[in-house]
Amino acid sequence: MGTRMFVAVYPPEDVREELAEFVSVRPGLAWTGPEQMHLTLAFFGSVPDRSLEPLEENLESAVVSVESFPCGLHGAGAFPHPDSAAVLWLGVEDGAEDLTRLARKARGAGNRAGVVPDGKAFHPHLTLARPGRTNATRWIRVLETFSSRIWTVDEVHLVESTLQGHGHRPRHRTVKTVPLAP
């Protein structure tokens, strides 16, 4: 059995802290902590040990020519639907097209390394909570009032995700950071 991994962009610490402060005064959900706030580009449910080095190398070669770009968080929604929300998320205001291009490259890097990415369509977002199949319309209205500053995406991270047991958040550890072109 392989390792759960994903490729992600992390907003700067000040953006994550501001968002954490915004949701912390809103009780009722277990909000994602600032250390785990990220935009997932590709998720790999099982990366065999033999595929880790090729994945790292392929990811680096795939994104080396991608130029840094501006990005900001704004807008909100729920998967699969606001009436039955399993995931509450914050959207991307600027940088959505660039993130989509990065996601294609990250998924391609996985495929070339023999690691199959999940088959879900890419939708740039930052997961904030997992409310458990509830109507989230009220929460979405609240989250839509948040807007982050624009920052520069200048690197991607290959992250190991270890599950901690039922009801516990996964533990994330960056395995490799890959810079984008300046």
pLDDT digits (tens, 9 = 90+) for 107-131: 999 999 999 999 899 999 999 999 8
Q: Which residue has the tokens 């099982």?
A: 46
Q: Which of 125, 65, 140 is nearest to 95 (CA)?
A: 125
Residue 176's pLDDT is: 97
- Indicate if 168 belongs to the active site: no
Q: Which residue has the tokens 């984008």?
A: 180
Rounded average pLDDT over 128-150: 93
Report the amino acid identity of residue 150: I
Q: Which of 47, 17, 67, 22 is nearest to 158 (CA)?
A: 47
pLDDT band at 11 (very low <50, low <70, confident <90, very high): very high
Residue 65's pLDDT is: 92
pLDDT band at 165 (very low <50, low <70, confident <90, very high): low
- Percent of the chain, pLDDT > 90? 87
Residue 93's pLDDT is: 87
Q: What CATH architecture does domain 3-179 belong to?
A: Alpha-Beta Complex (3.90)
Which helix (H) or strand (E) segment holds residue 96: the answer is helix 96-112
Q: Is residue 133 scored above 90 in pLDDT?
A: no
Residue 91 Cα distances to 5, 86, 130, 164, angstroms:
22, 16, 15, 27
Rounded average pLDDT over 86-112: 96
Q: Is residue 159 scored above 90 in pLDDT?
A: yes
The active-site residue, picked from 125, 166, 168, 172, is 125
CB contact at 8 A, 3 and 156 = no
Beta-strand pair 151-153/125-129: unpaired
- Indicate if 123 belongs to the active site: no
